[in-house]
Amino acid sequence: MNPPDFAPHRWEKLGEESLAATRIFNLRRQRYRHPRRGDARDFVVIDSPDWVNVLALTPEKKLVLVSQFRFGIDDFSLEIPGGVIEPGEDPLAGGLRELREETGYAGRNARIIGRVHPNPAIQNNTCHLVLVEEAVPVAAAQWDYDEEIAVSTLPVDEVYALAQAGRITHALVLDALLFFAPLWAAAKGGPVI
Amino acid sequence: MNPPDFAPHRWEKLGEESLAATRIFNLRRQRYRHPRRGDARDFVVIDSPDWVNVLALTPEKKLVLVSQFRFGIDDFSLEIPGGVIEPGEDPLAGGLRELREETGYAGRNARIIGRVHPNPAIQNNTCHLVLVEEAVPVAAAQWDYDEEIAVSTLPVDEVYALAQAGRITHALVLDALLFFAPLWAAAKGGPVI
């Protein structure tokens, strides 16, 4: 292994150019120079708006879940509500908007409990993880044209059990459960996982 | 909200075509038909080999961490070892290979503790989460040309504290910590998070 005092270099960004644009992200080539070697290298990055995922806790201490067909894995996926934050939109507001649009739920005491990078190696955005309490149905859901969502609620501990059993596989949903674990343990007075 | 018995449709895949190829993933347009509406719609998917992340636990119950410059976020990131599984490679073998290449560590009792989808909406691959015990340095690291990695070890509970404090932000690394939590709680006889 390398010596304990080894520090990786910070590469110097020389420029970038767009390779392709899609509805929800752009593909970008970034050119970097290694500060010691001096040579230039290209790396492709997925340039995306920030995302938000929402843990909505009902008065009965259940979590609001959504199931939908996902084109990436070509299959259904059990998740928490979430989506893309709009330009200029506050992440917390974006989370509450997605919750309401996808499920018709709204709640109180909304706050960000974590922020993660979906993939620091190849992707530049942040996913904000939001917790909302006292969530109840307040309106009809308003789906996008291609959205179809089954909404359900499940006791928190059962959601953690589903996650550990491999029934919830969305990496960013599982991150929300990691950040929520100490809060839920404090609320119920015992360990979660 | 939609009625409780609502079930989203499974879209029918009509075909796909490649939009762009990079060193580590391909951009693909997938065409789907909605089974009830009947219209065809295009969705762009990031087509990628599977990935693997490795929790390597030392005999002193520390985890092996790596810090490197990440081009996606244009900054350094504190992570666990991992990388891309090679064509035909077993995920567990791939994890042990990445661990050894990036850090020079090898261990025993390697097993997969979780499998996640980095992003079911737009990405088709799986990230396998591996646990290795009794990990010790056995060789010099063997980095790829553009890799520079600072290797360190940290007590498990301190790693969880860093995660909760927002100092570890890689979504897939945090997933590994979620799946490891019940195993670590059992090993140390108390709650982790």
User: What confidence tens digit (pLDDT) does each residue in A45-78 have?
Assistant: 999 999 999 999 999 999 999 999 999 999 999 9
**Chain A partners of B187 at a C-beta cutoff of 8 Å?**
none
Is the whole model's pTM more than 0.80, yes or no? yes
How would you write A60-88 as a 3-class SS string?
A: CCEEEEEEEEECCCCEEEEECCEEECCCC
Structure-token match 């996982």, residue found? A193
What ipTM did this prediction achieve? 0.96
- Angstroms from A37 CA to nearest CA on chain B: 10
**Burial class for B72, CB neighbours closer than 10 Å (0-12, 13-18, 19+):** buried
Domains located in chain B, CATH noted: 12-47 (no CATH), 51-188 (3.90.79.10)
B3: confidence class by pLDDT, cuts 50, 70, 90: low
What pLDDT, on a 0 to 100 scale, did the predictor assign at position A6?
82
Report the distance separating Cα A161 and Cα A191, nearest Å: 13
Asked if A140's CB is within 8 angstroms of B1's CB, the reply is yes
**What pLDDT was estimated at residue A2?**
53
Contacts of A118 (CB under 8 A, 6+ apart): A51, A125, A127, A171, A172, B118, B119, B171
Render pLDDT for A78-123 as a digit per residue (tens, 0 to 9).
999 999 999 999 999 999 999 999 999 999 999 999 999 999 999 9
Structure tokens that stand for B175 in this block: 């997933």
**Quick one: pLDDT band at residue B1, thresholds 50, 70, 90?**
very low
Which DSSP state fits A57? B
The whole-angstrom distance between B88's CA and the closest CA on chain A is 20
- The answer to whether residue B17 scores a pLDDT higher than 50 is yes
Closest CA to B178 of B80, B97, B58: B80
pLDDT digits (tens, 9 = 90+) for B139-153: 999 999 999 999 999
pLDDT at A3 over 60: no
Q: What percent of chain A has pLDDT over 70?
A: 97
- The pLDDT tens digits of the residues spanning B87-98 come to 999 999 999 999
Contact A24 B44 (CB under 8 A): yes
